[in-house]
Amino acid sequence: MKRRDLIKSGSLAVLGMAATACAPRSAAVVTTPARRPMLVLPRIHASWDRVIRTTVGFRPHRPGGFVLRADKLGSKLLIHNYGHGGSGMSLSWGTAQMAADLALQQNERTVAVIGGGVVGLTTARELQRRGFGVTIYAAALPPEVTSNWSLAGFTPTSGLISGNVRTPEWTAQFQQAVDIAYRRLQLLVGPKYGITWITNYAPTDDDKMAGGSNALLPTHIQGARELLQPGEHPFPTRFAIQRPEMRIEPSIYLEALLEDVKIFGASIIVRKFEKAEEIAALPQPVIVNCTGLGAKTLFGDDQLVPLKGQLTVLVPQPEIEYSTSGGARVQSAEPGLGIHMMPRRDGIILGGTSERDVWTPEVNEKERQRIVNGHIDLYNAMKGPMGPMPRRT
C-alpha cells in the first residue's frame, strides 16, 4: 500500500463518527516545528499468523436514532429502549436511567425487562435502584449477545443516526443520555467492570480535520485533544491527534453487570418471544423492551436495520496501552470508513467495518483483508526502536 493511502487516515473515526451523519466542524491547524521529543510507543505485532478469531455482530441501527418512550401494550405500560446502533456500550446507562424513570409512572413495582444485552442489564439495574422487582427475559445472555461483539470504546455517536432525520426532542434525549452515561462509566473504572482510560492516537495528514469537533457532543465529552506535530509522533503521517479514550472490555463488563442484577434479586428466564402478544401475556404490569435488533419483528419497527460489523482479533499484547483510529482507507465497503485498533485483555481488536442492511453471519473476507492489511501497513510504517516489522505477504 502506498503512503498516500496510509495518510488518508480516518479523522472521522477519531470521534467514532463512522457511518453517522454528524459532520465535524473543522478549523485550520498550523504545522509548527516539533517542540517535544518523539513519542515512543511499543509496536503492535500485526501479522496474519497472529490472528486468533474474527467475530461478526449486528449493530441495531435506526436512521432516526434510538427509541426511548412509554407506550401501552394492552393494559400494561410498555417502555421502549432500543436501537443504539454502534453506541450501545457507550450510551446504555443514560437511556437505562431515563427508561427506569418512565417506569415510575406506574404504581406497581414489578417489571419485565426483555433483553439481556448491555441495554437490558443496565436498565434492570436502574429499575432495581428504584425499588422494582425485576425479571429479565432474554433469548440469549452474555457472551452470546451483540454487546459482546463490540469493540468497545466510548463512541456515543457511532452508527447511531444517519441522514438529517433526528428531531430536536431526540437530540435533547441523546444529550441527556450521553451526559449520564459518561459520568456513570467513569465511576465504574477499574478491574471489576473492565473499564479503563487509555490514550488514542489518530494518525492523519489532514490538518483541517485535526481541528474538527463533533456537533452532537458537548465539548467536555469530546476529550482533551492535542495535535502532535511532525517529529513528535511515530506514525507515518504529518500529524497524530492524541486524546484520552474510555475502553470497555465487554466480556468482563457484561459478566459483572449480570452478576450485579442477580445480587440485587433479578430472576433471569431464557426465552425467545415470537410476537408482542406473548409479551403482553407476561404477569408483570410493566415491560421494558431492550431487544435491540429483535424489536424489528417483535414490535414491527421498519426503521431498524443491522449495520454488520466485524472484529478481527490478534494475540494479546499486555504492553500495549494505546488505541489507534485511522491509518488506511482502502477498499472500504462504505466511503468514509476508517480502521480502529483497541488493545484488550482478550486480544488486540481490529475493527472498522459497517455493512448496512447485511444480515449474513459469515465473515466478509474482503473487509477482513482491508482491516488486517491496513493495520499491518500502519504498524510496519511506524517509527520506533524496534525497527520495521516483516512485510505482509
Ligand X SMILES: Cc1cc2nc3c(=O)[nH]c(=O)nc-3n(C[C@H](O)[C@H](O)[C@H](O)COP(=O)(O)OP(=O)(O)OC[C@H]3O[C@@H](n4cnc5c(N)ncnc54)[C@H](O)[C@@H]3O)c2cc1C
Of the pair 85, 211, the CB lying nearest ligand X is at 85
Angle at which helix 250-263 crosses helix 118-129, to 10 degrees, equals 30
Of the pair 228, 290, the CB lying nearest ligand X is at 290
The whole-angstrom separation of Cα 341 and Cα 323 is 5
Of the pair 7, 138, the CB lying nearest ligand X is at 138
Q: Least distance (Å) from ligand X to the CB of residue 259?
A: 16
Q: Least distance (Å) from ligand X to the CB of residue 298?
A: 5
The whole-angstrom separation of Cα 91 and Cα 157 is 9
Of the pair 113, 210, the CB lying nearest ligand X is at 113
Q: Least distance (Å) from ligand X to the CB of residue 246?
A: 10
The whole-angstrom separation of Cα 128 and Cα 14 is 36
Residues near ligand X, by CB under 6 A: 57, 59-60, 82, 84-90, 114-120, 138-140, 145-147, 149-153, 155, 158, 272-273, 290-292, 294, 298, 309, 311, 351
Nearest to 392 by CA among 45, 54, 52: 45
Q: Least distance (Å) from ligand X to the CB of residue 110?
A: 19
Q: Least distance (Å) from ligand X to the CB of residue 117?
A: 2
Q: Least distance (Å) from ligand X to the CB of residue 319?
A: 22
Continuous segment of H or E residues that includes residue 100: helix 88-103
**Cell (9 digits) for 365:** 473476507
Nearest to 92 by CA among 188, 165, 213, 12: 188
Q: Quote the strand ranges of the chain, DSSP E.
A: 24-25, 51-61, 67-73, 76-82, 110-114, 133-138, 195-204, 213-214, 226-228, 239-248, 267-270, 286-289, 305-314, 322-325, 340-344, 347-351, 355-356
For 120, what's the count of Cα atoms within 13 Å in the CB-facing half-sphere? 32
- The sign one gets for the Cα dihedral 101, 107, 109, 114 is negative
CB 57 within 8 A of CB 150: yes
Distances (CA, A) of 217 to 65, 74, 84, 267, 386: 14, 38, 16, 37, 38
- Determine the 3-state secondary structure of 200 from DSSP: strand
CB 188 within 8 A of CB 195: yes
Of the pair 114, 202, the CB lying nearest ligand X is at 114
Nearest to 8 by CA among 338, 228, 373: 338
Q: Is the peptide bond before 181 cis (omega within 30 degrees of 0)?
A: no
Of the pair 80, 238, the CB lying nearest ligand X is at 80
Q: Least distance (Å) from ligand X to the CB of residue 81?
A: 8
Of the pair 238, 296, the CB lying nearest ligand X is at 296
Of the pair 89, 339, the CB lying nearest ligand X is at 89
What is the DSSP code (8-state) at residue 209?
A: H
Q: Least distance (Å) from ligand X to the CB of residue 102?
A: 17
Of the pair 82, 379, the CB lying nearest ligand X is at 82
Q: Least distance (Å) from ligand X to the CB of residue 280?
A: 13
